[in-house]
Amino acid sequence: MQRFEITILGTGSASPTTKRNPSAQLLNAAERFFLIDCGEGTQMQLRKYKLNMHRIDHILISHLHGDHYLGLLGLLQSMHLLGRKKPLYLFCFPELKEIIDIQNKHSQTVLNYEIIYNYTDPKQPKLLLDDKKLSITSFPLSHRIACCGFMFREKEGGRKIVKEALEKYKVSIAEIHKLRIGQDAINDEGDTIANRLLTKNPDRTRSFAYCSDTCYFEDILPHIANADLLYHESTFLKDMKDRARSTFHSTAEDAATIAQKANVKKLLLGHFSARYEDSSPFLLEARPLFDNTLLALEGEKVKI
């Protein structure tokens, strides 16, 4: 089975600490790399964890609070200085292009590579990418400013070839294309060999939902339903529920309730307020409602 995993680069909320960087995650989907949010210091985290920034061809920014994008300008210019030539696909709100353009204008920077913008919609779901292997959809969250979550879904691949069976039934490799799409094969002797004798079912597809800054918001349930992994912010513990509501953030209890109602398989908590030095109480609050809960820890990889 091909890789489908995230590396946690930042787990903090608005104010970074010595232990937590602002929001950023890197998704490896079959050796295609998607950077999701890019808080301050993200490029240093990429270097620290030996992740090659040149392999990142897609960046997704959930919203325009600084802890989710202020690392982007530095990363874009480092890619430029290090000789990037291939295009970079940036999924964001239109206002981010204005910010990037004015920064480059006043620093007299002309990037060596093209940024191809694909704008998210703060009011309704939008399909951002759809190819043979993966689809990405944005969907609205409920935050103080416009904010989107992202759903990544693998596409089902072709049937898997059993090499030993090809030899046993004397089937030429020229028949492999037919077998992958479910057809029977003709062997070297002209006999028809049933597909089921030569192949196995494709790998199970997987999905990852990313919900950055949002208050408790059940409107997202249809968009994240049955996800293999849900990342949901949990800025506060429930004793600060009033603070969470006034700032349009969630508690660990909120995140666990959403995970339970969405019937996801695993919940990942992050975006912790700097007031909490110890993250373990977030687990204690979430697990009675949703047992399969993990804490986002910087540098760790979470397989999906």
Q: Evaluate if residue 182 carries a pLDDT over 90.
A: no
Q: Evaluate if residue 160 carries a pLDDT over 90.
A: no
Backbone angles phi, psi at 91, to 5 degrees: -105, 120
- From the candidates 37, 57, 67, 191, give the one annotated as an active-site residue: 67
Is 203 a known active-site residue?
Answer: no
Contact between 63 and 91 (Cβ < 8 Å): no
pLDDT at 158: 77
Query: pLDDT by residue (tens digit) across 197-215?
Result: 778 888 889 999 999 999 9
pLDDT at 190: 81
Angstrom distance (rounded) from CA 302 to CA 6: 5
Reported as type and span, the H/E element at residue 104 is helix 94-106
pLDDT at 136: 98
Query: pLDDT by residue (tens digit) across 53-70?
Result: 999 999 999 999 999 999
Please report, for residues 44, 117, 195, 262, the alpha-carbon distance to residue 87 in angstroms, rounded to integers and kept in the order given: 22, 10, 40, 36
Contact between 37 and 68 (Cβ < 8 Å): yes
Band (pLDDT 50/70/90 cuts) for residue 191 is confident
- Per the DSSP assignment, residues forming a β-bridge with 209 are 151, 230
Mean pLDDT of all residues in the chain?
Answer: 95
Angstrom distance (rounded) from CA 61 to CA 72: 9
CATH 3.60.15.10 placement within the chain: 4-156+205-303
CATH of segment(s) 4-156+205-303: 3.60.15.10
Residue with structure tokens 């094969």? 185
pLDDT at 193: 81
Work out the number of other CB atoms within 10 angstroms of the CB of residue 232: 31
- For the entire predicted model, the pTM comes to 0.91
**Residues 128-137, buried b or exposed e (16+ Cβ, 10 A)?**
bbeeeebebb
Q: Evaluate if residue 7 carries a pLDDT over 90.
A: yes
